[in-house]
């Protein structure tokens, strides 16, 4: 079992199809061009002393090349977050040496002349000797070999290195993608960063389905819209903050229709989608199928999906049970099981909040140097809080650690945020717990107002009081210009907490 | 009759077909392609002979095949003219469920 097998199959089924296009530069690679360059690079990696192949750069054609060449050579691929400082990156590199580091030319000098580190320029990676030696398919098939090491953005301490073995990634692809299911005209626009699990999953599933990938290295709504139109993109995946920007950008031009008739499917995930954003998006893209995906690095990407039919059913329904599913992350993929458990580890009844546990072939739950956090029955504790409704639709309610405990009562920030978001003046909101002498913790809210709207603290408090139990009413409300998000659209509650003091 | 290892790659002795083991029972499995035992793809052996006429149904790349008991599942990674069988019983093509594309 090796991710290379997926590329080998694509290469033998449709060698001349365009596999990847760099949307910024316009460069392309067909499956056969990719395959031969991967083989050439794998031989060079094997001839080196490197135990890891590290990539520190935005998406480009060298991204899929690095992923597959590492698999072929038999060493882990380690894509790093290029937004980290050189100092933070250096600490991660220390943990993966001896390694080859591939980075952009402006960063090469920062990492030159380090013991155990061979540094390459990203653009040199694409250079091809042209000598088409016959390529032996000589990668290992040990399913336990590590395909990818991904540093997770830990909120405390040093980042953890999640280990994804070939068996996890290949199981995910075989369980969710039909081989060669895309026709030649289909194109997928990938704008998630290459060091994010969704970026890795996008490469693997597009290759296996035979779908052309158009890469957008640095996201902007304008560029996204332009590339969708230019390449007649049929599939795209965005995080909620990106969809929000795209909707705003279209609205600024006065558009009532996005006019992207080729866009058959738009998937989103990676964070909580505000209801007004998805509702507006569905109006602007009336012919597009929307899917909401939920997954984690440790689960090799998606574990549950709210599909297009679920979206339409929810929007068309007057029944609150169906309507609220628009903000759920859908149901577990085939081969994946999801449970909600309480603090004692007991499974809870439907519609009860608890911690999300997941089990399946694609679930790794293992960290380098820390071992596995999967229990003896194969269940992985996600540390995400959520609930399942009577039909198995999963609702996310923030991180398990984000719960506010006020006078012994557990409050979900997400519930309060959902209510505040329905106020006409509120553009964005973060609810967190702050230390309180009387209650242990109390509820605080940070509000970003829509432009040209004003509302008082008291008005917002009574707005919540009319809709929820009084314990949920924020005792402190601040108005900010914006909220801190990471690049994949996750609200940085820790930063909000620090800034609130 | 060897045990099959998950992730192992096997090739047909009598056609171009190759498969990868997705799931396998822990006991020995007599897996054949075209009527002849399959060979470890990494072994360098080449096999030989003809496809048995009762086993000439072929395998298609990307399709998954299972036995009746669903204890064995393989993925065809290279198409061939032979058919897969365990103890002489042809494997069945597994239906895949169409999922919405999310990445």
CATH at A443: 3.30.300.30
pLDDT mean over A107-118: 91
Among A222, A232, A228, smallest CA distance to A252 is for A222
* pLDDT above 90: residue A453: yes
Can you spell out the DSSP letters for A73-103? Answer: HTS-EEE--TTS-HHHHHHHHHHH-SEEEEE
* pLDDT above 80: residue A110: yes
The answer to whether position A319 is within a domain reads yes
pLDDT at A70: 97
* pLDDT above 70: residue A332: yes
Q: Are B57 and B83 in contact (CB under 8 A)?
A: yes
Residues of chain B contacting residue A178, judged by C-beta atoms under 8 Å apart: 62, 96, 98
A382 and A417 housed in the same domain? no
The answer to whether position A346 is within a domain reads yes
Domain end residue (candidates: A358, A377, A401): A401
The answer to whether position A169 is within a domain reads no
Residues of chain B contacting residue A176, judged by C-beta atoms under 8 Å apart: 99, 102
pLDDT at A485: 86
Return the structure tokens found at A295.
Answer: 């997954």
* pLDDT above 90: residue A501: no
In the block, tokens 């998630």 appear at A192
* pLDDT above 70: residue A156: no
- On average, the pLDDT of chain A sits at 92
Domain end residue (candidates: A401, A424, A446): A401
pLDDT at A399: 77
Residues of chain A contacting residue B20, judged by C-beta atoms under 8 Å apart: 1, 5, 141
A395 and A461 housed in the same domain? no
**What's the half-sphere exposure (Cβ side, CA atoms, 13 Å) at A294?**
28
A370 and A447 housed in the same domain? no
Residues of chain A contacting residue B101, judged by C-beta atoms under 8 Å apart: 188, 205, 209, 235, 265, 267, 291
Cα–Cα dist A194/A203, whole Å: 9
A213 in reach of chain B (CB within 8 A): no
Return the structure tokens found at A452.
Answer: 């040209």
pLDDT at A378: 94
A493 and A407 housed in the same domain? yes
A476-499 pLDDT, tens per residue?
Answer: 999 999 999 877 777 888 889 888
CATH code, domain with A335: 2.30.38.10
Cα–Cα dist A446/A428, whole Å: 8
The answer to whether position A180 is within a domain reads no
Q: Which residue of A has its CA nearest to B7?
A: A1
Q: Which residue of B has its CA nearest to A7?
A: B77
B56-92 pLDDT, tens per residue?
Answer: 999 999 999 999 988 999 999 999 999 999 999 999 9
The answer to whether position A181 is within a domain reads no
Q: What percent of chain B has pLDDT over 70?
A: 93
Q: Are B103 and B38 in contact (CB under 8 A)?
A: no
pLDDT at A154: 55
A414 and A381 housed in the same domain? no
A350-361 pLDDT, tens per residue?
Answer: 999 899 999 999
A407 and A491 housed in the same domain? yes
Return the structure tokens found at A184.
Answer: 């030649």
B22-40 pLDDT, tens per residue?
Answer: 999 988 889 999 999 999 9
pLDDT at A401: 77
* SS3 per residue for A216-276: CCCCCHHHHHHHHHHCCCCEEEECHHHHHHHHHHHHHCCCCCCCCCCCCEEEEECCCCCHH
A494 and A432 housed in the same domain? yes
CB B20 to CB A1 under 8 A? yes
The sheet that has B89-90: what strands, in order across it?
A: B36-37, B31-33, B84-86, B89-90
pLDDT at A85: 85
Q: Are A71 and A139 in contact (CB under 8 A)?
A: yes
pLDDT at A364: 96
CA A171 to chain centre: 18
User: Who has greater pLDDT, A102 or A407?
Assistant: A102
Domain end residue (candidates: A332, A366, A401): A401
* pLDDT above 90: residue A100: yes
pLDDT at A67: 98
Residue A336 backbone dihedrals phi, psi, to 5 degrees: -120, 135
Helix H or strand E segment including A69: helix A62-73
Interface test with B, best of A142, A174, A211 (most B CBs within 10 A): A174
A424-447 pLDDT, tens per residue?
Answer: 999 999 999 998 888 888 999 999
A350 and A422 housed in the same domain? no
Cα–Cα dist A36/A246, whole Å: 37
* pLDDT above 80: residue B99: no
Residues of chain A contacting residue B75, judged by C-beta atoms under 8 Å apart: 174
* pLDDT above 60: residue A68: yes
Q: Are B39 and B18 in contact (CB under 8 A)?
A: no
Distance from the first to the final alpha carbon of chain B:
40
pLDDT mean over A298-321: 93
Q: Can you give the residue range of the structural domain that contains A374?
A: 311-401
pLDDT at B1: 53
pLDDT at B97: 65
* pLDDT above 80: residue A264: yes
CB A179 to CB B103 under 8 A? no
Q: Sorting pLDDT into bands at 50, 70 and 90, what band is A418? A: confident
A429 and A464 housed in the same domain? yes
CA A93 to chain centre: 23
Distance from the first to the final alpha carbon of chain A:
50
A450 and A493 housed in the same domain? yes
Q: Are A464 and A244 in contact (CB under 8 A)?
A: no
A214 in reach of chain B (CB within 8 A): no
CB B101 to CB A143 under 8 A? no
Residue A419 backbone dihedrals phi, psi, to 5 degrees: -70, -45
A179 in reach of chain B (CB within 8 A): yes
The answer to whether position A323 is within a domain reads yes
CB A1 to CB B7 under 8 A? yes
Peptide bond into A98 cis (omega under 30): yes
pLDDT mean over A363-368: 94
Can you spell out the DSSP letters for B34-102? Answer: TTEE-EETTS---------GGG---B-TT-EEE-TTS--EEEEEE-BSS-EEETTEEPEEPP-------
The answer to whether position A338 is within a domain reads yes
Cα–Cα dist A27/A29, whole Å: 7
**What's the half-sphere exposure (Cβ side, CA atoms, 13 Å) at A172?**
33
A159-194 pLDDT, tens per residue?
Answer: 899 999 999 999 999 999 999 999 999 999 999 999
The answer to whether position A393 is within a domain reads yes
* pLDDT above 90: residue A54: yes
pLDDT mean over A362-375: 93
* pLDDT above 80: residue A133: no
Residue A491 backbone dihedrals phi, psi, to 5 degrees: -65, 130
A360 and A344 housed in the same domain? yes
Q: Sorting pLDDT into bands at 50, 70 and 90, what band is A339? A: very high
So what's the ipTM on this one? 0.92
pLDDT at B101: 67
Return the structure tokens found at A374.
Answer: 């999967």
* pLDDT above 60: residue A55: yes
Task: Chain B: give the shortest CA distance to residue A28, in Å.
Answer: 20
Residues of chain A contacting residue B60, judged by C-beta atoms under 8 Å apart: none
Give the total number of structural domains in chain A: 2
A455 and A432 housed in the same domain? yes
pLDDT at A247: 96
């Amino acid at each position: 079992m090796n991710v290379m097998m997926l590329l080998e199959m694509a290469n033998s089924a449709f060698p001349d199809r365009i596999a990847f296009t760099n949307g910024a530069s316009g460069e392309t690679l067909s499956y056969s061009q990719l395959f031969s360059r991967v083989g050439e690079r794998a031989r060079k990696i094997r001839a080196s002393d490197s135990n890891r192949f590290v990539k520190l750069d935005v998406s480009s054609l060298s991204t899929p090349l690095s992923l597959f060449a590492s698999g072929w050579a038999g060493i882990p691929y380690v894509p790093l977050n290029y937004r980290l400082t050189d100092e933070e990156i250096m600490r991660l590199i220390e943990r993966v040496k001896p390694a080859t580091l591939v980075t952009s030319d402006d960063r090469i000098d920062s990492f030159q002349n380090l013991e155990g580190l061979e540094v390459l320029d990203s653009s040199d990676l694409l250079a091809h000797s042209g000598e088409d030696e016959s390529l032996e398919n000589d990668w290992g098939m040990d399913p336990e070999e590590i395909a990818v090491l991904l540093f997770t953005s830990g909120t405390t301490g040093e980042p953890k290195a999640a280990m994804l073995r070939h068996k996890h990634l290949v199981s995910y692809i075989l369980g969710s993608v039909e081989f060669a299911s895309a026709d030649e005209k289909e194109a997928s626009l990938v704008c998630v960063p290459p060091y994010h699990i969704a970026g890795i999953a996008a490469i693997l599933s597009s290759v296996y389905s035979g779908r052309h990938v158009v890469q957008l290295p640095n996201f902007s709504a304008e560029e996204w819209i332009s590339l969708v139109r230019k390449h007649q993109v049929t599939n795209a995946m965005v995080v909620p903050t990106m969809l929000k920007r795209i909707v705003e950008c279209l609205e600024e031009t006065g558009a009532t229709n996005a006019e992207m008739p080729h866009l058959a499917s738009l998937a989103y995930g990676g964070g909580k989608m505000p209801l007004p954003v998805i509702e507006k998006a569905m109006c602007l893209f009336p012919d597009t199928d929307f899917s909401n995906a939920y997954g984690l690095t440790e689960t090799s990407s998606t574990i549950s999906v709210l599909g297009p039919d679920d979206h339409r059913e929810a929007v068309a329904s007057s029944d609150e049970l169906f309507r609220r599913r628009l903000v759920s992350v859908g149901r577990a993929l085939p081969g994946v099981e999801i449970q909600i458990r309480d603090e004692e580890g007991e499974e809870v009844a439907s519609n009860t909040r608890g911690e999300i546990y997941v089990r399946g072939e694609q679930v790794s739950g293992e960290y380098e140097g820390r071992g596995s956090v999967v229990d003896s029955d194969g269940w992985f504790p996600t540390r995400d809080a959520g609930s399942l409704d009577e039909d198995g639709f999963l609702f996310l309610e923030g991180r398990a650690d984000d719960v506010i405990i006020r006078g012994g009562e557990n409050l979900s920030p997400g519930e309060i945020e959902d209510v505040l978001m329905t106020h006409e003046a509120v553009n964005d909101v973060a609810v967190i717990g702050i230390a309180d002498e009387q209650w242990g913790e109390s509820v605080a809210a940070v509000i970003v107002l829509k432009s040209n709207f004003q509302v008082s603290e008291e008005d917002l408090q009574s707005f919540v009081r009319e809709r929820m139990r009084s314990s949920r009413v924020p005792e402190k409300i601040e108005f900010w210009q914006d909220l801190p998000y990471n690049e994949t659209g996750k609200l940085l509650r820790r930063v909000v907490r620090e800034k609130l003091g | 009759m060897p045990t099959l290892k998950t992730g192992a790659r096997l090739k047909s002795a009598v056609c171009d077909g190759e498969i990868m083991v997705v799931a396998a029972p822990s006991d020995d499995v007599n897996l054949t392609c075209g009527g002849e035992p399959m060979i470890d793809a990494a072994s360098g052996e080449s096999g030989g002979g003809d496809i048995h006429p009762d086993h000439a149904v072929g395998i298609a790349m990307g399709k998954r095949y299972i036995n009746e008991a669903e204890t064995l599942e393989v993925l065809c990674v290279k198409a061939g003219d032979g058919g897969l069988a365990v103890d002489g019983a042809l494997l069945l093509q597994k239906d895949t469920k169409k999922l919405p594309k999310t990445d």
